[in-house]
């Protein structure tokens, strides 16, 4: 869908590469994001345990 009914170009037709990179990061799979969260939680837990030792 390159053009709207009025014939104007859609903004996404000429998006800079930067937006493409951001979108790629955002489209990370749900599993990857959950893994990242789990890793962060483990690090936080380790830090908390080391504080209370």
Low-confidence ranges of the chain (pLDDT < 70): 1-16, 19, 22-23, 25-27, 53
* DSSP label of 27: T
Q: Residue 33's pLDDT is what?
A: 74
**pTM of the predicted model, to two decimals?**
0.33
CA nearest 37: which of 19, 52, 45? 45
């Amino acid at each position: 869908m390159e053009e709207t009914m009025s014939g104007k170009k859609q903004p996404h037709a000429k998006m800079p590469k930067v937006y493409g990179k951001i979108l790629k990061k955002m489209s990370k799979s749900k599993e990857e994001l959950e893994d990242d969260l789990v890793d962060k939680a483990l690090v936080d837990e380790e830090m908390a345990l080391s504080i209370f030792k």
